[in-house]
Amino acid sequence: MSNKPVPRVRVPANAKKDELIEIKTLISHEMESGQRRDSAGKVIPRRIINTFTAEFDGKTVFEATWHPAISANPYQSFFYKAVKSGEFTFKWKDDDGSVYESKAKIQVA
């Protein structure tokens, strides 16, 4: 893969206490399954993001395990009940051991 994966997240900057908010994430990644061959006939090694985790103030609030059948540039959304102000940390773990991270703060009133 020629480019480093780029994570993007969309978290509302503000929410009312106990409001249900939608969090949207996307990471630019080829998600190579390991089943294709290059022009020389060599198998292209598997390289997928296998785990996505969302934490709020250090506590895991959402986790997903992904498999080779997931599409390139995977999109993940989920809902979260905004109880207090704080910071989300999103992590995508790659087969090669790489971890891509993004953070977003939310203000709850």
pTM score, two decimals?
0.90
Neighbouring-strand partners of residue 32: 47
Q: Is residue 44 a contact partner of residue 32, using CB atoms and an 8 Å limit?
A: yes
Q: In angstroms, how far is CA 76 from the centroid of its own chain?
A: 7
Q: What is the pLDDT of residue 1?
A: 44
The CATH number of the structural domain formed by 6-102 is 2.60.40.10
97 contacts 91 by C-beta, under 8 angstroms: no
43 secondary structure, DSSP code: B
> For residue range 18-35, what is the model confidence (pLDDT) as tens digits?
999 999 999 999 998 888
